[in-house]
Structure 1
Amino acid sequence: MKITEPPRTPERRKQDLLDRLEREIDVWVATADREGLPCLVALWFVWDGAHLWLATRPTNPTGRNLRDGRRARLAFGDTRDVVLVDAQAETFPAQDVPVAAAEAFLAKTGWDPRRERAEYAWFRMRPTAVQAWREVQELPGRHLMRDGVWVVQDPR
């Protein structure tokens, strides 16, 4: 997209976001500890239509931050096609993760953390705010979700 192109409609932006959640495999996960020390890692994810599911070691900084702080900012794309998702985290030990979420994760990534020797935790990420834009002309109207409610109707 060039700056001279007209901005996408809010409905198109939401559809592009939903398509991206189905298509992409990696998401940047930004967390912070209680002292505010930031941590940024890329993790695999699966989208279940309402939540993003992540898996990581509960003892690493991201796992601890998600468990203790219960929130993160997730980011997709580059500087010309940005999606930011603020999300609340809920932690599930491997034995308690819903089978449907774990099986969808396995189908998408080819990896099943439940079968690892090391301990993994699962994190159900509930979006509370979503922004999406390409270039400066799309900054107005970039908010697709606020306070956990879509501000743009379902495009389908």
Structure 2
Amino acid sequence: MTAADDAHPEGPRSPEQRKREALERLAKDIDVWVATADAGGEPCLVPLSYFWDGESVWLATRDTNPTGRNLIATGRVRLCFGHTRDVVLIHGTAHMLTREELPAEVGDGFAAKEGWDPREDHASYVWFQITPEVLQAWGTVPEMTGRTLMRDGKWLNQDS
């Protein structure tokens, strides 16, 4: 048995199971890898804390760092949750909000989950609402087929 077999020993998961487990991961994980690029294509990859509200991923970062500048300039982002044998990958669009514009329930949820409230930190912190456009979930090679569970912001399997 290989490490790949250990990830999902029962074989490839159904799309319904992958969607359910992806949503569980979004609700429970602590951090996410955030990939952005500037206008010249220079990539930036950083781990950030996040909050999932059931529809959007919320990030807080300084508007002066590369990730914040890239999100403001392009609005494009990729988020990667999990580890290499159980990945949830989101391609999304970022919308910036100031702390004054942030819905209180989002800020409160983020602070409760993370134990840190960016609203009370340095004034350069801004918020980004990430709207998923594409969501993919896979574990190992047998799950590569059918890994796209959401396209154009719509779940492909609406029953699960």
* Alignment-derived partner of residue 27 in structure 1: 32
Residues 1:45 and 1:154: Cα distance change in structure 2 (over 3 Å): farther
1:129 is aligned, of 110, 134, 137, to 134
Tell me how far apart the structure 1 counterparts of residues 66 and 76 of structure 2 sit (CA, whole Å): 13
CA contact (8 A) 1:31 1:39 kept: yes
Unpaired runs of 5+ residues, structure 1, are none
* Alignment-derived partner of residue 113 in structure 1: 118
Q: CA deviation at 1:154?
A: 4.8
Tell me how far apart the structure 2 counterparts of residues 6 and 108 of structure 1 sit (CA, whole Å): 33
CA contact (8 A) 2:25 2:82 kept: no
Q: CA deviation at 1:125?
A: 0.2
Instruction: Indicate whether 1:84 and 2:89 are aligned.
Output: yes
**SS of aligned partner of 1:90:** strand
Q: CA RMSD of the aligned region, Å?
A: 1.3
Q: CA deviation at 1:77?
A: 1.6
1:73 is aligned, of 74, 78, 84, to 78
Give the percent of matched residue pairs that are identical in Structure 1 and Structure 2: 53
Q: CA deviation at 1:118?
A: 3.9
Tell me how far apart the structure 1 counterparts of residues 95 and 9 of structure 2 sit (CA, whole Å): 42
CA contact (8 A) 1:10 1:141 kept: yes
Task: Tell me the TM-score normalized by structure 1.
Answer: 0.95
* Alignment-derived partner of residue 49 in structure 1: 54
Tell me how far apart the structure 2 counterparts of residues 87 and 23 of structure 1 sit (CA, whole Å): 20
Deviation readout 1:64-111 (Å, 9 max, x if unpaired) = 001110010000122111111001000001121111110110010011
**SS of aligned partner of 1:64:** helix
Task: Tell me the TM-score normalized by structure 2.
Answer: 0.93
Amino acid at match of 1:45: Y
**SS of aligned partner of 1:82:** strand
Tell me how far apart the structure 1 counterparts of residues 148 and 69 of structure 2 sit (CA, whole Å): 29
**SS of aligned partner of 2:146:** coil
2:23 is aligned, of 18, 24, 31, to 18
CA contact (8 A) 1:31 1:66 kept: yes
Q: Runs ≥4 in structure 1, deviation > 6 angstroms?
A: none
1:138 is aligned, of 137, 143, 149, to 143
Unpaired runs of 5+ residues, structure 2, are none
Instruction: Indicate whether 1:39 and 2:67 are aligned.
Output: no
Residues 1:4 and 1:45: Cα distance change in structure 2 (over 3 Å): closer
